[in-house]
């Protein structure tokens, strides 16, 4: 509940008539919204701190019985003192936020320390292990903790120094997949979207402190449940940034959902700060979702351009059975230089039946699962592509067990011919 809703509930409990009158005025005011994204800044999440020793003055919650799936007592208690020794030691508790005083005792083993958002937390980092394989090369650090507190801790050492932040927040899809105020936010919660926005906004404000204002990027993935609200929120938190939303295919076959259209993609927001550039003019890197390992493995990693695509076909009609005329060898010499294109195999003909020209070896369109695949074009069109520099042989890829083969699509060839694109050999 929002803070105003909580206060209204307290007022109605003490004076029903006054509380109802205040609620009517509140509803009238809330109906007159200003232009833009409006939502309640809800009471923030509280965080359980398992393993933290219980001390006098701590806020605690009483855990449910061992093995129980019930939520247990969600009220907060303050530790006033202790009784007993050893395993039988008890904590004297006093209920917080209640007009009528309530006290009880509970075993320390049945309590967990809770920190509310307003409470100071001084997180400390300690190493739990490391893997050393790179010598003096750059390394990664994994921080395991509640994400808001981790981000806050980083502001002491990395304020304004981060080049890129990637966030994959809970999608607020109705599943019991994220917590708020130490309780699940249910799909029928009237404040569901508002609570989600309040949770995200707090983290975006800290992320803003960490990002380099002169040149950095924030990337966030989301689905259709919240992408509209997230877009408006980003505009409000980063008014000076360049913001773009693109789609990313996550399942080309679609994920079926009851009484809804299948979902094939999610959305990616790119927030660019300062003078961050995506690349040279007419040489913009396109970050595209690939359909399979073969195409991912054959990306030309050494160039700013990614107009070069895998010459091996992916998706539907990508097997020798569907397109037998596109299952043929491409011959390269010992240095990996293109030599020639062979003919498609006849029905029932084996690859070993095709002799290689002297000093060459054959590249076949074999999928990573060892089944027979096909190239994107017929042998005659492949010869045209190689002859005009529109197809090429790349590096040896362990993922596919051969050298990569990439080519330019017809649209790119047309843009080259018109002068819209220029070829840069690096």
Residue 287, pLDDT score: 33
Q: Among 246, 277, 308, where does a domain finish?
A: 277
Q: Do 167 and 272 belong to one domain?
A: yes
Cα–Cα distance between 239 and 233 in angstroms, integer? 10
Q: Do 203 and 245 belong to one domain?
A: yes
The H or E element that residue 404 is part of is strand 402-408
Query: Is position 404 within any domain?
Result: yes
Contact assessment for residue 274 and residue 214, using Cβ atoms and an 8 Å cutoff: yes
Q: Do 267 and 313 belong to one domain?
A: no
pTM strictly above 0.75: no
Q: Do 167 and 210 belong to one domain?
A: yes
Q: Could you give the number of structural domains in the chain?
A: 4
Query: Is position 211 within any domain?
Result: yes
Residue 148, pLDDT score: 81
Instruction: Look at the block and give the residue holding tokens 């996550």.
Output: 250
Q: Give the residue ranges of the chain where pLDDT is below 50.
A: 1, 280-305
Instruction: Look at the block and give the residue holding tokens 């040279």.
Output: 280
Q: In a 3-state reduction of DSSP, which class is residue 58?
A: coil
Q: Do 208 and 246 belong to one domain?
A: yes
Q: Do 300 and 411 belong to one domain?
A: yes
Q: Strand pairing partners for 47?
A: 115
Q: Do 6 and 61 belong to one domain?
A: no
Query: Is position 260 within any domain?
Result: yes
The CATH number for 223's domain is: 3.40.50.150
Q: In a 3-state reduction of DSSP, which class is residue 422?
A: coil
Q: In a 3-state reduction of DSSP, which class is residue 248?
A: strand
The CATH number for 59's domain is: 2.30.30.30
Query: Is position 284 within any domain?
Result: no
Instruction: Look at the block and give the residue holding tokens 């999610």.
Output: 266
Cα–Cα distance between 421 and 281 in angstroms, integer? 9
Domain limits for position 298: 293-418
Query: Is position 84 within any domain?
Result: yes
Q: In a 3-state reduction of DSSP, which class is residue 130?
A: coil
Residue in 15, 30, 13, 24 with CA at minimum distance from that of residue 191: 30
Q: Do 270 and 175 belong to one domain?
A: yes
Contacts of 360 (CB under 8 A, 6+ apart): 331, 332, 333, 339, 340
Cα–Cα distance between 313 and 373 in angstroms, integer? 7
Query: Is position 121 within any domain?
Result: no
Cα–Cα distance between 174 and 229 in angstroms, integer? 16
Contact assessment for residue 304 and residue 283, using Cβ atoms and an 8 Å cutoff: yes
β-strands 164-167, 360-363 pairing: unpaired
Query: Is position 181 within any domain?
Result: yes
């Amino acid at each position: 509940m929002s803070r105003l809703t909580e206060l209204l509930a307290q007022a109605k409990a003490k004076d029903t008539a006054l509380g109802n009158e205040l609620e009517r005025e509140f509803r009238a005011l809330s109906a007159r919204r200003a232009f833009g994204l409006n939502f309640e800044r809800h009471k923030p999440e509280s965080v359980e701190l398992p393993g933290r020793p219980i001390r006098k003055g701590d806020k605690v919650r009483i855990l449910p019985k061992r093995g129980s799936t019930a939520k247990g007592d969600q009220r907060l208690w303050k530790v006033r003192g202790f009784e007993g020794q050893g395993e039988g030691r008890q904590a004297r508790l006093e209920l917080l936020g209640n007009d009528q005083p309530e006290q009880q005792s509970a075993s320390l083993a049945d309590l967990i320390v809770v920190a509310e958002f307003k409470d100071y937390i001084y997180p400390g980092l300690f190493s739990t292990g490391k893997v050393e394989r790179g010598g003096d090369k750059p390394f990664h650090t994994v921080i395991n903790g509640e994400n808001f507190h981790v981000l806050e801790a980083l502001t002491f050492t990395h304020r304004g120094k981060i080049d890129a932040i990637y966030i994959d927040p809970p999608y607020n899809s109705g599943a019991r997949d994220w917590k708020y105020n130490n309780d699940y936010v249910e799909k029928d919660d009237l404040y569901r979207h508002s609570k989600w926005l309040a949770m995200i906004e707090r983290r975006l404000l800290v992320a803003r402190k960490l990002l380099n204002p002169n040149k950095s990027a924030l990337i966030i993935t989301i689905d259709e449940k919240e992408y509209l609200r997230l877009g408006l929120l980003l505009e409000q938190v980063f008014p000076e940034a360049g913001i773009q939303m693109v789609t990313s295919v996550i399942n080309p076959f679609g994920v079926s959902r009851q009484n809804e259209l299948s979902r094939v993609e999610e959305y990616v927001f790119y927030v660019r700060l300062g003078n961050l550039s995506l690349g040279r003019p007419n040489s913009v890197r396109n970050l595209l979702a690939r359909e399979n390992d073969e195409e991912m493995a054959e990306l030309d990693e050494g160039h700013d351009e990614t107009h070069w695509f895998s010459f091996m076909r992916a998706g539907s009609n990508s097997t020798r059975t569907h397109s037998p005329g596109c299952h043929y060898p491409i011959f390269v010499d010992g240095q990996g230089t293109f030599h020639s294109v062979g003919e498609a195999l006849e029905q029932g003909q084996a690859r070993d039946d095709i002799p290689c020209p002297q000093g060459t070896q054959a590249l076949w369109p074999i999928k990573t699962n060892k089944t027979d695949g096909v190239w994107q074009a017929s042998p005659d069109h492949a010869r045209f592509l190689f002859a005009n520099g529109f197809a090429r042989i790349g590096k040896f890829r362990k993922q596919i067990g051969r050298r990569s083969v990439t080519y330019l699509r017809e649209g790119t060839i047309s843009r080259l011919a018109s002068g819209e694109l220029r070829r840069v050999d690096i």
